Chain A
């Protein structure tokens, strides 16, 4: 018998912020596993240490991932959470739901699992926390029947996610919801059957505000942008001018000083070629300033968190790409296939693509995926002369002593 009281956790039911302890207690009314989770957690609070371990591969027929094995370290003491596995379900783009869909998730999970979820996991999936090994296949079968599918785990394409996009945002420079849906479906095999050196993530943000934090959290960041000049509605500028200091709040904060507010005419002007499309002015004056008309996305590669070679932010490899549903996002998909093929060939086990590129050099990577170098890829060029010349370059640039081409 384990102690049923949870004096330490009860402290976390106090205060105004919603309490996860209350949530576990609610689940515990119907689930013995959730009740026992509370006991394990109370012990962690007392001992200041975790009590979970990996332990064996679990999964469903036909897939290599989607379920993560989790076991308590004292199964005799806590038999109901001896197996307490996590199931990942692919979320709808933008985390939009109707209540019917959500109730279906609840009903199936109530039948087999602990009744606890994460809405959502850091990568974006619906996370179902805590089920037994014997129930994994039935859970998948029922969710599949109801129109759901498992998310990614292991060395695969992890579940892509996206911002709210054109569904509810005036800034969206491409259809993030459709791109995420379409591209997730395109790469089902890569997502469900781990076959790469390590995990790889894609996140779709509709503008440079990057609400999915794609630049920090994904190996491939697709960030909406435009190529032409932002559009200004001078009538709306005048309305803003009546209630705010446009020079201080907008022009003075523009990183390239490309905006000028003329107090006399009450008009705002922009030097288009100086603008770096950072979104600040649009954020402050959405009624008056809009992105340009020629919209698409910047593609950046290599973002990841600290382990192992430090945290990387993704870097630009394609400054501007059209992201259109009409052509089925063909250019993007083609690029991703070339990138993954290169990484598959050159990456070491447990090496994220950013680390592989860093180890072998950006130049080799660009050559490997057949992308031509452009200055937008770097903040500034190299400060050393250690260029690795290849024979083609030598043949092109070398000259004989008499001045003739070699």
Chain B
């Protein structure tokens, strides 16, 4: 019989001795090379963390592999980061270079520190989600392959944090990322009345719609969708497989940029849409990788030292960004949802 409510494993059992000894007494850190952090304690002790990219979706074989490496070089201690990277915690400096050589020999990707592209926080996509408008892991793989030179170096103007959400529920922090890739459905669900009659709880289905677009249709023992109110979130498909939301011809990807969550310099900010739709060109999404690279290179060429994507765009102005990026501006980019008014320009100051 299982023990209930015992909580998570205790973190103190997971800390290497060097962390126990220097807990709360770290003085500073440096990045001696891309992918390696050096934290120095008040005691003078130095801890090296070697950061390795992962696909997040990993097998137990992968976990066992990194355990073998951690046993050999890190006395069995490692951690994962908020962005799904692995960090090998090296307390013996003599083991740092041998570890790096080992990782290179085994084909691991070391990087993701400082002014680099870090791993893309992402969702489940076609692998395991029920409402995806695109795949998550595949798009991430294609984009990270394309931007790899910016993962294992630190030559960007500032750090670049990307997020991918595979539908407009926007799980993951895509809404506050430097560059966000968001799967979009663009058509309302198609109702399979036969399946509904066979056993869908109609009140639950009606209640599942966040905008009240679904109402009962007692005559047909089914439901009706007010298509003008539908925002394509797919919550109804969660309640009933009769509400098919996927649409291979019309589903795709939107690109939003300029968000951040750190308070450094400027306040946290939302990502803003700059490309409303790109096609779902599996398996390598060339339109998406190209669009992202173009924005990234424009930022590299034009940003001031230390300026994140959103800080750069806000400095030059969004209107100027669209000119520089040669991206078409359309009505789809003007907000017409609840808090739209704050995005309208209430000033006679602007650029061309």
Q: List residues of A whose CB falls within 8 A of some B CB.
A: 8-9, 11-12, 14-21, 23-24, 26-27, 34, 37, 41, 44-45, 47-55, 60-63, 70, 73, 84, 86, 90-103, 105-106, 109-110, 115-120, 122, 129-130, 137, 140-141, 144-145, 147-149, 161, 163-164, 166-170, 172, 175, 177-178, 181, 184-185, 188-189, 192, 208-217, 223, 248-249, 253-255, 277-280, 283-284, 286-287, 305-311, 313, 349-350
Contact = CB atoms under 8 A, between A and B. Distances in A.
A94 B79 contact: yes
A286 B24 CA distance: 15
Contacts of B170: 305-307, 311
A374 to B, nearest CB: 18
Contact of A310 (B14, B174, B339): B339
Given A118-B124, A141-B1, A311-B175, 12 more contacts: A8-B282, A20-B58, A20-B141, A92-B14, A101-B14, A120-B56, A130-B128, A145-B3, A167-B19, A216-B259, A279-B264, A305-B171
A280 B210 CA distance: 40
Contacts of A12: 137-138, 141-142, 283-284
Closest 4 CB pairs of A and B: A15-B145, A90-B8, A144-B2, A166-B24
B61 interface: yes
B49 interface: yes
A326 to B, nearest CB: 13
Contact of A188 (B7, B67, B259, B305): B7
Contacts, number: 347
A337 B13 CA distance: 30
Nearest to A278: B263
B80 interface: yes
Given A50-B132, A99-B67, A210 B207 contact: no
B211 interface: yes
A213 B261 contact: yes
A292 to B, nearest CB: 15
Of B59, B138, B174, the most chain A CB neighbours within 10 A belong to: B59
B148 A17 contact: yes
Contact of A23 (B57, B79, B265): B57
Contact of A27 (B26, B61, B175, B248): B61
Contacts of A175: 24
B81 A122 contact: no
Interface of B: 1-11, 13-15, 19, 23-24, 26-29, 39, 47, 49, 53-64, 67, 70-71, 76-82, 84, 86, 89, 108-109, 121, 123-132, 135, 137-138, 140-142, 144-145, 148, 151, 165, 168-176, 207, 210-211, 233, 235, 237-239, 241, 246-248, 251, 259, 261-266, 268, 270, 280, 282-284, 305-306, 337-339
Q: Which of A23, A84, A93 has the most CB of B within 10 A?
A: A23
Given A9-B283, A210-B268, A278-B265, A24 B77 contact: no
A189 B5 contact: yes
B129 to A, nearest CB: 6
A105 B59 CA distance: 11
9 contacts: A48-B248, A55-B241, A73-B241, A98-B14, A166-B24, A209-B264, A216-B268, A279-B263, A307-B235
What is the interface of chain B mostly: helix, strand, loop, or mixed?
A: loop
Highest count of chain B CB atoms <10 Å: which of A53, A137, A141, A145: A53
A117 B59 contact: yes
A253 B308 CA distance: 12
Contact of B210 (A60, A167, A254, A307): A307
B282 A48 contact: yes
Contacts of B70: 99
Contacts of A283: 264
A122 B163 CA distance: 11
B135 A145 contact: no
A137 to B, nearest CB: 8
Nearest to A129: B128
A45 B123 CA distance: 16
Nearest to A91: B8
B57 A168 contact: no
A119 B27 contact: no
B80 A208 contact: no
A93 B282 contact: no
B130 A53 contact: yes
B72 to A, nearest CB: 10
A99 B89 CA distance: 12
Contacts of A278: 263-265
